[in-house]
Amino acid sequence: MSRRLRAQKFVASVGGLGYILKKGGATLAAAVAALLLYGFSLTPAGAAVSFRWLWLPLFTLALTFLGIWSGNGVEAVWGEDSPKAVLDEVVGMYVAVLFHPLGWKTILPGFVLFRVLDIWKPLGIRKTEALPGGWGVMVDDIVAGIYANVVLSLCLLI
């Protein structure tokens, strides 16, 4: 196995997290992402507005491109949208809370909304899985994260 493929497997599985569970790995990855985000929100840097408005979107974008790159490599070995590839869930979780105040009152409902939408795949989300390679792996979770973000925004207005 080439070094590149090993690196792609490591990235796609979020350092091996995708290997832990045969079922539920996506939820585990999203939960770990939510917990890390919550932990970071408790730090002075995480509470800063600049992180929420600049660094989290840039970090999420970087993870997206890493996910596309790694998805292109592992799809040939693991098959389409393998349960071992969980970086897409991390990105979807982060998209679900982008531009919201970071705290349990946004991260927890963002997590629930994202997972429900990612599992059910309504409103055309399922169609995005047909995109080629890493795009198909990543885009359905990004769209589910966008929908979750919109619903979360509406709920916060109430």
pLDDT class of 36 with cuts at 50, 70, 90: very high
Q: Where are the domains of the chain?
A: 3-157
Q: Each residue of 7-35: pLDDT tens digit? A: 999 999 999 999 999 899 999 999 999 99
CA distance linking residue 111 with residue 89, whole number of Å? 10
DSSP conformation class of 158: -
Q: Is 124 exposed, middle or buried (0-12, 13-18, 19+ CB in 10 A)?
A: exposed
pLDDT class of 51 with cuts at 50, 70, 90: low
Element (DSSP H or E) covering residue 57? helix 56-78
Higher pLDDT, 45 or 136: 136
Model confidence, pTM: 0.93
Sign of CA dihedral 50, 87, 26, 35: negative
